[in-house]
Amino acid sequence: MSALGKMKTALNKTDPQIYNFVKAEEKRLKDVLEIIPSENYISQAVKEALGSALNIKYSEGYPKKRYYQGNEVVDNVEILAQERAKKLFGVPHANVQPYSGSPANTAVYLALLEPLKDKIMGMGLGAGGHLTHGSPVSISGKYFPTAPYHLGKDGRIDYDELEKIAMKEKPKIIVCGGTAIPRIIDFKRFGEIADKVGAYLLADISHITGLIIAGVHPDPVAYVHVIMTTTHKTLRGPRGAILMVTEKGLAKDPQLADKIDKAVFPGLQGGPHDNQTAAIAVALLEASKPSFKKYGAQIVKNCKKLAEELIGYGFNLVSGGTDNHLILIDLSNKKVNGAIAALALEVAGIVTNKNAVPNDPMPPFYPSGLRIGTPAVTSRGMKEGEMIKVAKWINIVIEEVRGNELPVDKEKRSQFWREFKNRIVRNKKLLAIASEVKTFCSKFPLP
C-alpha cells in the first residue's frame, strides 16, 4: 500500500467523518466540470509534499537565519524553492513564504507605503480588480487612500484615462492585474505610466502566471518593480504565494528586497508553512518542463473556443471575448441573475462562480454575471472539441432558468432565492445534464 493509502486508512480509523468528507470531495471533483478560472488540480507529487513531515517544523526567519534550531533540511527546501522561482521568472529575488495572495499584496503595502498617507491605485473591484487592490472593505482600502481605475465602454482598460488619473492622484503604488480580466494586460504601458508619476508598479499575476511561463501572455518582469503571484491557479501548485523583486525594482530602490522580506516576516507572518514551500518548489519544477508550455497554450485555445461558442448562443461577453484563460459573461440579456445561473449550473454538474460585471446594478451576492475559465478542464486533457459540448450544456441550463430575475426589494429577493433553491435542485432537465456531464468527465481522469 502506498504512503498516501496508509494515511487515508489512518484517517478513516481516527476520524471517519472527515475521511468521508474527503472521499466525497474527491468524488465531486471527479464527476463535475470545474470551470472556475481560479481553481485547478494539483499533481500527486504536489499532494505528497503537502502531506509530508515538513508540516511539523517551526522555521521563523529565513534560510540560515532562523529563530529555531533543527532547520537544516527546511533551509534547503526553501532555498531550492527560491532558486527555482528566480530562474523560472528571471528575477533576482523571490520570497516563497506568503501564506496566500492577500497577505502577500498586503506585505508589499506594508513595505512601501505609509498608512493613511500614501495612495494605492488599483483596478476597481467592479471592473475586475481584487479586494486587496484598494477595495474599501479590505485592509488595502481601509488603511490607505485609493484611486481606482476602471474600464472603457469596450470592456478593456482605458490606458489614456488611467494615465490621467495617475497624473492627478500621484499614487505611491500602482497595481496591475486582477481577478476578472479576460484581456491581455499591457505591462509596458503600465510601466511607462508608473515611471511618469514616480510610482512603484506591482504586477499581481496570480491568474495568468502559468500563461506567462508558457509564453502565451506578455511577461511583466522588464516593466514592473514587484511581482506577486499565487501558486494554485494556472501554476497548478498548492495554495500559497510568491513575492518577487525585479532588476528594475532594485534599480529604483536597492533595499526593496529587504523591505519586502521584513514585511512578510516579522511584519505579517510568523513561521512559514514548510510543507507548502516544498509543494511550491515541486510545482515550479513541473512548470519548467516543455509539457507545461503546451498546457498553457491549450488553456488559451480552449478558452477562446468556449468564448466563440457562447457568443454563437447569444451570450454577452465582457470585452467581447477573451485573450487568456477567463471569460466574464454579462447575463443581463438572458434575463437571469448570475447567482441563479451559477446555482442552476452546479445542479447540472458545471461549477462556475457568480461575478459582478462592470457597472453592475446588482449587489455583490446577487451579481449580474458569471466568471468561467479553462485551466482545470485543460488539466484533465480536454481540448477545443470538448469546449463545444461545454458551451452547449451551459446554454441549455441558462435557457432553462431564463426569466428568473431577482426582485429589487431585499426581503422579496431573499424569499424568491429560498424558493428557487428548493425548486432547482429537483429540476429533471438539469439533473439529466449532470448525469451526462458525469459520464463525459469519466473519459478525462483527474491528474
Which tens digit of pLDDT belongs to each residue from 352-370?
999 999 999 888 889 999 9
Q: Which three cell numbers stand for residue 394?
A: 451551459
Give the up-direction half-sphere exposure of residue 337: CA atoms within 13 A in the CB hemisphere.
19
Please tell me the distance from the alpha carbon of residue 61 to that of residue 63, in angstroms, as a whole number: 7
Strand, coil or helix: 373: strand
Between β-strands 316-317 and 226-230, what pairing exists: parallel, antiparallel or unpaired?
Answer: unpaired
DSSP state of 407: P
As a whole number of angstroms, the distance between CA 430 and CA 409 comes to 28
Residue 297 phi, psi dihedral angles, 5° rounding: -65, -35
**Per-residue cell: 419:** 424558493
Kindly list the catalytic residues. Answer: 58, 60, 204, 230, 233, 239
pLDDT score at 125: 87
If DSSP codes are grouped into helix, strand and coil, which group holds residue 317?
strand
- Specify the DSSP class assigned to residue 126: G
pLDDT at 2 over 70: no
What's residue 405's pLDDT?
Answer: 78
What is the pTM (predicted TM-score) of this model? 0.94
Cα–Cα distance for residue pair 237/203, rounded to 1 Å: 19
Residue 215 backbone class (left: φ over 0; alpha: ψ -120 to 50; beta: rest): left
- Quickly name the fold that domain 292-441 has: Aspartate Aminotransferase, domain 1 (3.90.1150)
Do the domains 292-441 and 53-287 match in fold? no
The pLDDT value given to residue 317: 98
Cell output for 73 = 533540511
CATH top-level class of 53-287: alpha beta
Cα–Cα distance for residue pair 83/94, rounded to 1 Å: 8
For the stretch 224-240, pLDDT in tens is 999 999 999 999 999 99
**What is the residue extent of each domain of the chain?**
53-287, 292-441
pLDDT attached to residue 166 = 97
